[in-house]
Amino acid sequence: MIRKKVDIVSIVAALAESKRPIFHSEKDFQLHLGWEMKSRGCEVCLEYDPDCFDRNAAIDILVVKPEKVAVELKYKTRRFSGEITGHRFDLKNHSAEDVSGYDFWKDVWRLETVVQSSKASIGYAIFLTNSPRYWRLAREGTADADFRMNEGRAVSGRLAWSAAAGQGTTKGREDPIVLSGRYGLHWADYHNVPQANGLFRYLLVAVGG
């Protein structure tokens, strides 16, 4: 008997082609991704605590069946206003790409922990954005160089702020992130609205499996 798999790429593609291709917030993204999974017969839990961290720390989505899959999401936007399929969107301008990069790689580390603890067979970190600053190559020597997410980069090992990072940036995020795996970064188009800041792309990092 062939064990069914959760095809995360086709699920994201179906969401992009749905009546709600973009989202008001990260919670909105989480809800609709979970909904799409359920429509395909998956059993899902939102905000699930896998009980493998030192303190309570929920992951965004856990697919229980047909296999255990842990999913962490990030949704960061540039300013965007418009109506899409009858829905009005007024998205905020999220800055602080350096902090967002740290938080994304912290998600990857968390997924590594979940998979290594056998709480899931595979994990996926998904970063959805309409800001090209994330996928474009940044200048060298920035304080957040280790946490960058640009296209074509390979990421592994110890990630840390440079000595130039300010305390306001690193507050609450001082600890380095140490990854067990090595990850090649490749962005994919998600949905394109023909107006300013209308190109949404996503980065998908698979952990374990």
Give residue limits of the domains in the chain. Answer: 8-208
Q: Are 105 and 139 in contact (CB under 8 A)?
A: no
Report the share of the chain in percent with pLDDT over 70: 98
Model's pTM, two decimal places? 0.94
Instruction: Write out the E strands in the chain.
Output: 43-48, 59-65, 69-76, 80-84, 87-91, 122-129, 154-159, 177-184, 187-192, 199-208
Among 41-45, 169-173, 185-189, the range scoring the smallest mean pLDDT is 169-173
Is residue 164 over pLDDT 90?
no
Helix (H) or strand (E) holding 102: helix 97-116
